[in-house]
A and B are shown apart, each in its own frame.
Chain A
Amino acid sequence: MNIVNLTQVTYTYPLTDKPALSKVDLQVKEGEFLAIIGPNGSGKSTLCYALAGFVPHFFKGELEGTVQVAGVETKSSTLNEWVMNVGLVFQNPFNQISGAKYSVYEEIAFGLENMGVPREEIKSRVDQALILTGIDDLADRSPYSLSGGQQQRVALTSILVMQPKVLVLDEPTSQMDPVGTREVFGVIRSLTGRGMTVVMVEHKMEWIGQFADRVVGLYDGKIFINGKPREVLTSARLVGRGFGISRYTSTAREAVKEGIWPKDRELPVTLDEAIKGFKKISK
């Protein structure tokens, strides 16, 4: 059952000539964890905005093709309908703190207040959400007193509490340290375990290799590659095009050139795979 259906989507931002997205076809199954990779300027953020309805409803401009997410179709809807169904989290945690609330608890309740949810229900949903993302100990703190990683988890929680059907994340861990990254991926894994559909733009290939069900690569506004994480992340097509490549994959690729790593063996994506692979060689 496809919960996301993009057909021949082409979009150009106002006052620009070149389309940011060009004839994009993309389907995502319900409950799938899709990772999106691509060099800078390849249209990843635009794709996230299109999935969340902000393209075109917020940015204006012409959108061709159809975008259908969680039963809502772009042309026949308003941004408010999108926001109920699709959650959006992006890179900079600081800009996702509303600034209108003095505690983390209230910050998380903000979305539910806007949706007109009754007070008792707000409290129970916020309480649950705080535990889900493990930030219940931060509930009384001011959002501005938190570290970047903590703020990002607050941002994620304030979107999750709205119970979107699809969660779109645009490089959510790019400004976080390894511990924070692990925490965010941990939360996302528990969400996909419960059947939430997640679309995430990421550069950290090792993490994608471990968690994603499928990987799509964008290049120049077009879908460049689409497949299982292993195939995509070790594909030679990524080389020399500005895609981030896992250091373990690159090292093993060099090792193949030197005749150290056997040509017919799969290239590693994660540290564990690299260790296993190189251990076999040294035996």
Chain B
Amino acid sequence: MSDLTRRGLPSQFAYVIISTIQIIPQMQAKAQTIIAAQRSRGLETEGSIFKRIGALVPLVGPLVFGSLVEVEERAIAIEARGFTSTRKKTSLREIRDSGLDKIFRAVLVLIVLAIIALKIWTH
């Protein structure tokens, strides 16, 4: 995360990116728990496509509201760890950007451009 902020990305954006990576599996686990709870209350999750879409409705509410509460608590927690401090942040780990990393990145960009060019060409 400090590498992203070093390159000029505001720390809030860097935080959202990094924390989302770890939190997605946790949210999946939470969704599973909510589905299991709703099924034990009679929610039907098998059957026609309509039934299965309908089964998502009692999942969305608890998941979203539960997440909103958690987001507020987590905001307080990172605030309590000085996240919005205006001091210059230091970093525990030194993130070196070696010549190899730079070349690797350049190659990846070229590959993406090449793929885009190919798609346009073959249409």
Contacts and interface: CB of A to CB of B under 8 A. Distances in A.
A123 interface: yes
Nearest to B77: A96
Interface in A121-164: 122-123, 126, 144, 155, 158-159, 162
B91 A114 contact: no
A261 interface: no
Contact of B80 (A88, A94, A118, A144): A88
Given A95-B74, A113-B92, A79 B22 contact: no
A52 B2 CA distance: 27
B73 A95 contact: yes
Interface in B60-74: 70, 73-74
Nearest to A110: B81
A16 interface: no
Contacts of A119: 90-92, 94
Chain A binding surface, main DSSP class: helix
Contacts of B82: 80, 83-84, 111, 114-115, 162
B102 interface: no
Interface residues of A, number: 40
Contacts of B83: 114
Contacts of B23: 99
A58 B81 contact: no
A144 B26 contact: yes
Nearest to A84: B82
B81 to A, nearest CB: 4
Interface residues of B, number: 32
A169 B64 CA distance: 27
A11 interface: no
User: Which of B23, B25, B74, B80 has the most chain A CB atoms closer than 10 A to its own CB?
Assistant: B80
User: Which among B18, B76, B88 has the highest number of chain A CB atoms within 10 Å?
Assistant: B76
B84 interface: yes
Contacts of A50: none
B79 A122 contact: no
Contacts of A158: 81
Contacts of A202: none
B84 A80 contact: yes
Contacts of A98: 19, 74, 77-78, 81
Contacts of A117: 90
Given A144-B22, A144-B26, A114 B85 contact: yes
A283 to B, nearest CB: 52
Contact of A118 (B79, B81, B90): B90
B51 interface: no
| Most-contacted residue by chain B among A84, A96, A158 (CB, 10 A) | A96
A139 B69 CA distance: 28
A104 to B, nearest CB: 12
B23 to A, nearest CB: 5
Given A84-B82, A98-B81, A116 B76 contact: no
A99 B74 contact: yes
B86 interface: yes
29 contacts: A58-B79, A79-B84, A80-B86, A83-B80, A83-B85, A92-B70, A94-B70, A95-B74, A96-B74, A98-B74, A99-B23, A100-B1, A100-B15, A100-B78, A102-B22, A106-B92, A111-B81, A111-B82, A112-B90, A113-B89, A113-B91, A114-B82, A114-B89, A115-B85, A115-B87, A119-B90, A122-B92, A155-B77, A158-B81
Interface of B: 1-2, 15, 18-19, 22-23, 25-26, 70, 73-94
Given A95-B77, A96-B77, A110-B81, 13 more contacts: A88-B80, A92-B70, A92-B73, A95-B70, A95-B74, A99-B18, A102-B22, A111-B81, A114-B89, A116-B87, A144-B26, A155-B77, A162-B82
